[in-house]
Structure 1
Amino acid sequence: MSETEPENGDETHRTAIAGIGAVADMHAMSIDDIETATLVAGSCRTESTGRTFADEHDCEWYGDTESMLEEADPDVLIVCTPSGAHLEPTLSAAERGIDVLCEKPLEITTERIDRMIEAAEEADITLGGVFQQRFTDIFQQVHEAAADRRFGRLSVANAYVPWWREDDYYEGAWQGTQELDGGGALMNQSIHGIDVVQWLAGATMDLEPDENPVEEVFAYTARRAHDDDILEVEDTAVAVLRYRDGSLGQLLGATSMYPGSLRRIQLAGRGGTAEVLEDEMVTWSFRDERAEDEEIRARFSAESETSGGAADPMDIDYADHRRIIETFLESVSSDEPYPLDATEARKAVAIIEAIYESAETGSPVRLS
């Protein structure tokens, strides 16, 4: 791979994006803000979309990813194709020794994810996932408290994503299809809440790196607000979780709750409770009150400035995507582990797979 040196002496990572949809713009804007990254190319099948993207972000457009990887010769590939089409560009990049940062979910089944992990290991490349909620200041704060065991013996870890999507969001799109979305409200929208709550709960436990903090699930799914010809998969799901330490949890994932409201994450135990409503800390209370707690409550008490995607999927800021890309590139440059590697990104998909199996069979499902 070819790398250039910016004025500060750090290497510049030649970066390409596979799949030019709405989220690709967030990655492109993020790259533009990062001194150690340069966007050299983007690929998509639609020429008008590709040329517009190339003009806006001063890069080259390619009609297919294979040609882009061969001709643009990037150091890093960011995969933004539809969810069920993440495997193929990742394998192509791995064959060429190109590091890969992949949008959520890493893929729509753990079997396909495992193929990606195997290819990355064989090629000795870095394969990382994108779950931007982990990189927000507020959830970093909760994670720090969880790792510090401030919640004591954990009792519950809950995630509620009561969102809404209009019919036209699904019409003629890959979203909401089994083939490319792999599921509905859970796999596409609520996966962020599922990932962050299992990550927070896992920080209170002594787990192996590849061990999922969720041990068992029981779930129901339904299609309640969208007709069958609009949506193939669920728009409403509820699940009960049992974590490996015996604590319990509830999940609500929906795109059926007009007009949509803010995501809520709760973590609580004998030692205290933290509750986050989108990006506002509505509860931060511990038995061992510390001097910094009042400052934390004040710092995160402001009401959310966006809906967080509750009704509009693009009503989000790209600052956390920028943090993710910066962290990924730092890991690539230093050979230090990327904190949201493929094994970590796999965990949320494994939980959702188990939920779908439970809803289909009517029985509890244990995670391996």
Structure 2
Amino acid sequence: MINIAIIGAGGIASAHVKAYDTLSEKCKIVALADIYPDKARTLAETFSLKCKIVSDYSELLDDPTIDAVSICTPPFTHRNLAVDFLRAGKHVLVEKPMASSLKECDDMIMAAKESNRLLSVVAQNRFMNPIMNLSHVLNQKLIGKIAHAQIDSYWWRGHSYYDLWWRGTWEKEGGGCTLNHAVHHIDMLQWMMGMPKEIVAISSNTLHDNAEVEDLSVAILQYEDGGLAQVTSSVVHHGEEQQLIFQGEKARVSVPWKVKAQKARANGFPYEESDTDIETKIQQFWDECPLLEHEGHTGQINQFLEAINGQECLLVDGIQGRNTLELITAIYKSANEGVRVTLPLSVDDPFYTREGILAHVKRFYEKTTSIENFSDTKITTGGKYE
């Protein structure tokens, strides 16, 4: 039985509690920590948890009964929490984004290596059946060379979303929709296509004048083989229609799932009829992909627990988490400095450290409202993969 502590009792913590509860034959939640202990107590009562509750996470560092922790706090806290728990001999699962800077990611990765403990970063969308199936299709090269990827990370958040005290500031949230919402889609893109060689981007704050950070960005990524990807990150899109589309030399595939293959006439124009042979082959492969036992947070947490027991390898380790943040950091560098950014970013790049980022980003608006806690903490999203 693996004993778990959850650090942070905000909205996302519920997803972790539900997942651990589903996997109760493998684990048990023994502690909750939050700077607002009433929130932790409410979370414990909601899920009938009988566990230790503390306001200072340091009280849990030397607790020999704790094997692993879920970190569910704002991004600016991730580095210190992860490093402290890793050095204390605990395995760590940290919510996205991994940290506020690449330097912080490297500190976390080094702490995991030195302590010989696992470090995993939440990327729960990888553990959805349609996303996993799509990755299998691409890995098998069924659509041939990828010419273009279209990644639409469309979310919608009302003006009051950025009233929460830590949101909407570069110092506390670390960025806007590119870092905190599109992180899922950018993670899926880099998982499926790898790292690009160059990035150019632009960002804006169009509808949230109570936030320093962007609410919309558009980035173009170029790969070594000439392929391009475009990533739109947004919290201004009503309806939240999200999609990943990959256009290959043989066919187009996407999530939500669609396969389309065209064949050319002698003059290069397409026939009206599809290339049904290719479409059928890809569809059959998709249909035969095995279903995951668990999806989303439960799927990733199940693999985290299995990895602690030595039965699985982590799909999303610290290196994978860092890769995703490096793409996001490059988008911010390009958008803020108006330059074409070449990867990888070096350790002497101004955007490598949190202090460097804070010194070089533009602040769209001054944050004028700061609410300590929302009375309504329910998380509702329209992003689904079918």
The answer, yes or no, to whether TM exceeds 0.5 is yes
Give the letter aligned to residue 66 of structure 2.
P
Confirm or deny: 8 A CA contact 1:128 1:342 kept in the other structure.
yes
Partner Cα distance (1:224, 1:195) in 2: 25
Residue 76 of structure 2 corresponds to: 84
AA aligned to 1:242 is Q
Give the Cα–Cα distance (whole angstroms) in 2 for the partners of residues 325 and 266 of structure 1. 27
**RMSD over aligned Cα atoms:** 2.0
Alignment of 1:44-123 (within 5 A): 44-57=34-47, 58=49, 59-71=51-63, 73-123=65-115
Structure 2: give runs of 5+ residues left out of the alignment: 262-274, 345-386
Determine if contact 1:98/1:125 at 8 Å carries over to the other structure. Answer: yes
SS of corresponding position for 2:12: helix
Q: Using the alignment, how far apart are the partners of 1:298 and 1:333 within structure 2?
A: 29
Q: CA deviation at 1:83?
A: 1.1
Per-residue deviation at 1:294? 5.3
**Distance change >3 Å, CA 345–CA 184, structure 1 → 2:** same
Aligned-pair CA distance for 1:290: 4.4
2:184 and 2:31 map into 1 onto residues whose CA distance is 28
Give distance in 1, aligned partners of 2:200 and 2:285: 39
More deviation in 111-120 or 55-64?
Answer: 55-64
| Matched-pair contact (CA < 8 Å) for 2:137–2:285 | no
Superposed CA offset, 1:258-277 (max 9, x none): x242111111210221121x
| 1:140 shift after superposition | 0.8
Between the aligned partners of 1:194 and 1:132, the Cα distance in structure 2 is 13
Question: Is residue 40 from structure 1 mapped to residue 57 from structure 2 by the alignment?
Answer: no
Q: Unaligned 5+ residue runs, structure 1? A: 1-11, 203-212, 300-317
Alignment partners' CA distance in 1, 2:288 and 2:112: 43
Task: Give the TM-score normalised by structure 1.
Answer: 0.83
Q: Say if 2:155 is the partner of 1:163.
A: yes
How many Å separate the matches in 2 of 1:357 and 1:30?
36
**How far is 1:214 from its partner?**
1.5
| Count, aligned residues | 323
Match of 2:172 in 1: 180
**Are 1:320 and 2:296 counterparts?**
yes
Which of 211, 231, 239 is the aligned partner of 1:251? Answer: 231
C-alpha displacement of 1:292: 6.7
**Higher RCO, Cα 8 Å, sep 6+:** 2
Q: Does the 8 Å CA contact 1:95/1:123 hold for their aligned counterparts? A: yes
1:167 to 1:146, Cα distance in 2 relative to 1, 3 A: same
Alpha-carbon distance in 1 for matches of 2:127, 2:328:
22
- The alignment status of 1:141 with 2:133, answered yes or no, reads yes
Question: Matched residue of 2:120: which SS?
Answer: strand
The within-5 A match list for 1:245-324 is: 245-257=225-237, 259-276=238-255, 280-283=256-259, 285=261, 288-290=278-280, 293=283, 296=286, 319-324=295-300
State the 1:106 CA deviation.
0.8
1:222 aligned partner? 204
**Which letter maps to 1:340?**
V
Q: Tell me the alpha carbon deviations over residues 303-322 of structure 1, each in whole angstroms, 9 at most, x when there is no partner.
A: xxxxxxxxxxxxxxx94100
Deviates more, 1:166-175 or 1:321-330: 166-175
1:231 and 2:198 aligned: no
**CA shift for structure 1 position 88:** 1.0
Tell me how far apart the structure 2 counterparts of residues 268 and 142 of structure 1 sit (CA, whole Å).
Answer: 13
Q: Distance in 2 between the 1:165 and 1:282 partners?
A: 28
Match of 1:198 in 2: 190
Structure 2 vs 1, CA of residues 221 and 291 (structure 1 numbering), >3 Å: closer, same or farther? closer
Give 1:19-38 correspondences, 5 Å limit: 19-34=8-23, 35-38=25-28
Q: Deviations over 1:53-86 (max 9, x none)?
A: 2223312211111102334731011111101110
Contact 1:16 1:78 survives alignment (8 Å): yes
Secondary structure of 1:70's counterpart equals coil
Larger gyration radius, structure 1 or structure 2: 2
Contact kept in structure 1, 2:7 and 2:70, CA below 8 Å: yes
Indicate if the aligned counterparts of 1:44 and 1:65 stay in contact, CA closer than 8 A. Answer: yes
Deviates more, 1:157-166 or 1:282-291: 282-291
The answer to whether the 8 A contact 1:54-1:60 is kept is no
